[in-house]
Every structure is written in structure tokens, then in C-alpha cells.
Amino acid sequence: MHELAITQNVVEAVTSRTGSAPVAEVRVRVGRLSGVVPDAMRFCFDLVTAGTPLEGADLEIEQPAGRGRCRRCGVELELLDLVLLCGCGSADVEVLTGRELAVASVQMVVPVQEPAQEPVQPAEGR
């Protein structure tokens, strides 16, 4: 289940920016051709965020359709899944977009004011 590693990366990417401030919502953009299964990602998110500032945060998953171009007839088509098949019958489709995987936005529980001010704390305790 590669969603676990991917979700872990997402969570680490977020906490590297937000530190220990509690997060209310994380929105990710997962292209339809990325091979990531949203339900699996949600499941992993709950596991991975336990005990972190992201615990209990909502995970919103946007799934933009991909776009491809048929190498045989040149037509551009919308790609909703990994079946790359043009109307002309050719499966020789060049993928233009749809494999993206990115954090689209993060919503904090307490809105972030000015940047800086508080120095980054290495971790609580000694």
C-alpha cells in the first residue's frame, strides 16, 4: 500500500511548515492518474496523523481529471482513470497532466498571524 508512504510524506511536508500548531484541514490535489486511491489515503491519514498536530484534521482530496493527447490522431482527451484509450481506438496516448500529487492548502485551527515572531522550537522537553 504505497498510500502509506505518500500520506506520510504529505504529513511531514505540512508539519515542516506548520510546526506544532494544530491543523484543522489539509487539502491535497491527487491527479486521477497518480495511482493513489483516495479511500486508502484517508485511512492512512488517520493512522499517520495520530499523535501529531494534524490529528483529527479533515483531509480533503481534490481529484482533477487528467489530460492526454492521442499520438495517432492528435486529439486531446480528458483522462478520468488509468485507462488511456482514445476514441479512435488507439491506446497510444501521451499523458499531459493527471499525475500530480500536491498539498493544495492547509487550514490551521488558529489562523496564522504574522510570520516569525516565535522562534522555531526544537521539540518540547529537554
41 closest CA partner among 18, 17, 63, 15: 63
Helix, strand, coil fractions of the chain, as percent rounded to 5: 20, 30, 50
Helix extents (H) in the chain? 3-18, 38-49
Pick out residues in 44-83 that bind Zn ion (CB under 5 A): 70, 72-73
Q: How far is the CB of 85 from Zn ion (least distance, A)?
A: 9
Nearer to Zn ion, 12 or 78 (CB): 78
Site membership for Zn ion, residue 86 (CB under 5 A): yes
Q: How far is the CB of 79 from Zn ion (least distance, A)?
A: 13
Interface with Zn ion (CB under 5 A): 70, 72-73, 86, 88, 90
